[in-house]
A and B are shown apart, each in its own frame.
Chain A
Amino acid sequence: MTDVNTYPETASQPGEAGFGDYVALLKPRVMSLVVFTALVGILVAPVGVNPMVGLASILFIALGAGASGALNMWWDADIDAVMRRTAKRPVPAGKVAGGEALGLGLALSGIAVVMLGLAANVLAAGLLAFTIFFYAVVYSMWLKRLTPQNIVIGGAAGAFPPMIGWAVATGGVSVESLLMFAIIFMWTPPHFWALALFMKEDYHTAGVPMLTVTHGRPATRTHILVYTILLVPVALAAAFTGIGGPTYLAISAVLNAGFLWGAWRIWQRDEAQAEADGYRTEKQVFRFSLYYLFLHFGALLLEASLKGFGIGGW
Chain B
Amino acid sequence: MSFRPDHELHGRRLGRNVGVGLTLVAFAAVMFGLTVVKVTRDGPIEGYDHVVQPHLAQEASE
* Residue on A nearest B32 in the bound complex, by CB: A52
Q: Is the CB of B19 within 8 A of A19?
A: yes
Which of A3, A16, A23, A52 is within 8 Å of B12, CB to CB? A16
A59 beta carbon closer than 8 Å to chain B: yes
**A side interface size, CB within 8 A:** 21
Contacting A at CB under 8 A, from B1-30, are 7-9, 12-13, 15-16, 18-20, 30
Distance in Å: Cβ of A95 to nearest Cβ of chain B: 11
Distance in Å: Cβ of A289 to nearest Cβ of chain B: 33
> For the complex, what is the distance from the CA of A10 to the CA of B7, rounded to whole Å?
13
B37 beta carbon closer than 8 Å to chain A: yes
Task: Please name all residues of chain B whose beta carbon is closer than 8 Å to the beta carbon of A56 when the two chains form the complex.
Answer: 30, 33-34
Distance in Å: Cβ of B26 to nearest Cβ of chain A: 9
Q: Is the CB of B30 within 8 A of A19?
A: no
A11 beta carbon closer than 8 Å to chain B: yes
Q: Is the CB of A19 within 8 A of B9?
A: no
> For the complex, what is the distance from the CA of A59 to the CA of B37, rounded to whole Å?
16
Q: Is the CB of B16 within 8 A of A10?
A: no
B55 beta carbon closer than 8 Å to chain A: no
Contacting B at CB under 8 A, from A2-25, are 2-4, 7, 10-11, 16-20, 22-23
Q: Is the CB of A52 within 8 A of B34?
A: yes
Contacting B at CB under 8 A, from A51-73, are 52-53, 55-56, 59
* Residue on A nearest B12 in the bound complex, by CB: A16
Q: Is the CB of A19 within 8 A of B15?
A: yes
Task: Please name all residues of chain A whose beta carbon is closer than 8 Å to the beta carbon of B18 when the two chains form the complex.
Answer: 19
Interface of A is mostly: helix
6 A-B contacts, Cβ less than 8 Å apart?
Answer: A17-B16, A18-B15, A20-B15, A22-B19, A53-B37, A56-B33
Interface of B is mostly: helix
Beyond A50-B41, A52-B33, A56-B34, list 7 extra A-B contacts (CB 8 Å). Answer: A3-B7, A4-B7, A19-B19, A22-B19, A23-B19, A52-B34, A56-B30
* Residue on B nearest A21 in the bound complex, by CB: B16
Distance in Å: Cβ of B28 to nearest Cβ of chain A: 12
A119 beta carbon closer than 8 Å to chain B: yes
> For the complex, what is the distance from the CA of A285 to the CA of B8, rounded to whole Å?
50
> For the complex, what is the distance from the CA of A15 to the CA of B18, rounded to whole Å?
18
> For the complex, what is the distance from the CA of A119 to the CA of B32, rounded to whole Å?
12
> For the complex, what is the distance from the CA of A4 to the CA of B12, rounded to whole Å?
13
> For the complex, what is the distance from the CA of A52 to the CA of B36, rounded to whole Å?
9
Shortest Cβ-Cβ A-B pairs, 6 listed: A19-B19, A52-B37, A19-B16, A52-B33, A18-B15, A11-B9
Task: Please name all residues of chain B whose beta carbon is closer than 8 Å to the beta carbon of A20 when the two chains form the complex.
Answer: 15, 19
B8, B13, B34: residue with the most chain A Cβ atoms closer than 10 Å: B34
Q: Is the CB of A10 within 8 A of B9?
A: yes
Distance in Å: Cβ of A96 to nearest Cβ of chain B: 11
> For the complex, what is the distance from the CA of A129 to the CA of B7, rounded to whole Å?
42
Distance in Å: Cβ of A17 to nearest Cβ of chain B: 7
Distance in Å: Cβ of A197 to nearest Cβ of chain B: 38
> For the complex, what is the distance from the CA of A18 to the CA of B9, rounded to whole Å?
12
> For the complex, what is the distance from the CA of A18 to the CA of B12, rounded to whole Å?
9
> For the complex, what is the distance from the CA of A50 to the CA of B37, rounded to whole Å?
8
Distance in Å: Cβ of A21 to nearest Cβ of chain B: 9
> For the complex, what is the distance from the CA of A249 to the CA of B30, rounded to whole Å?
37
A17-B16, A19-B15, A19-B19 known; A119 and B9 CB under 8 Å?
no
Distance in Å: Cβ of B16 to nearest Cβ of chain A: 5
